[in-house]
Chains A and B, each alone.
Chain A
């Protein structure tokens, strides 16, 4: 067993230095080149006083630079914090300050670059690509890659139990939640996944998932650990182009959330493309409807489909449904992955009999260290090495999970998990808003989209357009409500709690986009 991602990558480099590791557009990076650059980043950081355990953040889209910087920080013994690149300056600055980042690698073409570059943060900024607003530190990415000591491997050392990565799962207001994963967590989950997915040195995955989320993160690391190739495709906006790359790149695997497949099936006929090398698909990130699953299997009968379930707090993956049992166990999220134990427990933490709905608890080497700098939130979910997932499910007598829902109000839209409170807090800042409740409503492609239900203060008039504009100023675009509804009052229980379930209808006339 390897105990860090860096060790896993190094093993791939030694086995096949000349194989392709990452492909992005016209750029093709071999394992040897990748490793050389990773060592250059690690050497640079160390030369500049970076200490093990310090945090270095990335504001970098999926790209070879992302992969190099990520592994470079790990090899230097640091904690890598890959930030959500769809986020706005407010969230980004909040996260950077919450984790006390000392370095920030950022794409200069990022829409928030100017805000970040001008902000007098305590972190040192490394500029990737050309910028209209230069950095005050003046450090350019190219200088690091070409710098002295770039080939020195000395000192690549990672301690398995130490923090390696922080993934923020919410932002903006209140306390950001930074899931903190150790080197062992990351390495263990990768090796568990390689125990059941057909990923080997010949694997070529087309990746459309953001690496800063746990699902994309695991796609990236599993393939590099296996010596496969990650072909980066940053958007599904042009599905025809994406499908053409399956043939031109000889793609063997593809991973998506339900909306990924809904979108592809709505715009292209998969049968029209050369997918002869495609061996498997994975789906995680929420339940996919049996109808959609059936359409996918019918369109690609030669391809194995793996349904999976997990959480960022478990690094990524907790369970998978073996593809050969898909028909028989339709609707199941599968069995625990190798190295993970799952139990269904009641509200007192006691295991319940098969077939009874309870909360999913999980234990294994993939369970996070905790939430960064938040022992109270950590105590709520970690108990004696077990993770309380907050997800409700039953388990049949063969150990197959059937997920019933979540205990939280999180909205699932596409690949995103969105806390309603973040949006409610931003809308509450608007003059004239008395109360607001944000809920998810059903959507054919995305699973859910966001609806805000608002009451106004007496004597004021609110405007949906202005509310959306305010949201877009402060929030990632995917968090801007699609629907805004104005009501006289919010439905509440006798104790004053908003009854969200009564707000989840799709409004007809209020649709503003």
Chain B
């Protein structure tokens, strides 16, 4: 499975409790749509570490990296190339 699909499935199942992929667009803001809150972000960071071996530094904890499936996919891809 691609990084994007893996992340999408994780968010759908663990935050939205659905398997209906149409409920989430890749560009949707996870925060503004109320899908993830401040503690949800911490869990998401734990997931990125477990699933992809990606460590999120404090300064990387910004919406540009984490606030949508697209941003998460780009961030994980970039980090895996540099780590």
B38 and A469: CB pair below 8 A? Answer: no
Q: How far is the CA of A259 from the CA of B38 in the complex (A)?
A: 10
A429 to chain B, nearest CB (A): 16
Q: What total count of A-B pairs have CB within 8 Å?
A: 60
CB-CB under 8 A from B1, the residues of chain A are none
CB-CB under 8 A from A480, the residues of chain B are 17
* B15-55 interface (Cβ within 8 A of A): 15-18, 31-43
Q: How far is the CA of A468 from the CA of B15 in the complex (A)?
A: 9
With A109-B32, A235-B37, A477-B37 known as contacts, the answer to whether A465 contacts B13 (CB < 8 A) is yes
- Any A CB within 8 A of the CB of B14: yes
A241 and B62: CB pair below 8 A? Answer: yes
Q: How far is the CA of A513 from the CA of B10 in the complex (A)?
A: 10
CB-CB under 8 A from A268, the residues of chain B are 58
Q: How far is the CA of A109 from the CA of B36 in the complex (A)?
A: 16
CB-CB under 8 A from B38, the residues of chain A are 235-237, 239, 263
A482 to chain B, nearest CB (A): 10
B63 and A238: CB pair below 8 A? Answer: yes
Q: How far is the CA of A305 from the CA of B32 in the complex (A)?
A: 31
CB-CB under 8 A from B42, the residues of chain A are 263, 266-267, 445
Q: How far is the CA of A480 from the CA of B16 in the complex (A)?
A: 10
Q: How far is the CA of A115 from the CA of B33 in the complex (A)?
A: 15
- Any B CB within 8 A of the CB of A111: yes
Q: How far is the CA of A236 from the CA of B31 in the complex (A)?
A: 10
9 contacts between A and B (CB under 8 A): A235-B37, A237-B37, A237-B38, A239-B38, A263-B42, A266-B42, A465-B13, A466-B17, A477-B37
- Any B CB within 8 A of the CB of A194: no
A86 and B31: CB pair below 8 A? Answer: no
- Any B CB within 8 A of the CB of A510: no
B14 partner, pick from A238, A414, A513, beta carbons under 8 A: A513
- Any B CB within 8 A of the CB of A446: yes
CB-CB under 8 A from A477, the residues of chain B are 34-35, 37
- The contact string, 1 if C-beta is below 8 Å from chain B, for chain A 456-488, is 000000000110110110000110100000000
- Any B CB within 8 A of the CB of A240: yes
Q: How far is the CA of A267 from the CA of B33 in the complex (A)?
A: 23
- The contact string, 1 if C-beta is below 8 Å from chain A, for chain B 48-78, is 0000000000110111001000000000000
A238 partner, pick from B17, B33, B61, beta carbons under 8 A: B61
A86 and B34: CB pair below 8 A? Answer: yes
A356 to chain B, nearest CB (A): 38
B39 and A111: CB pair below 8 A? Answer: no
Q: How far is the CA of A478 from the CA of B37 in the complex (A)?
A: 9
B16 and A472: CB pair below 8 A? Answer: yes
B42 to chain A, nearest CB (A): 7
A513 to B, closest residue via Cβ = B14
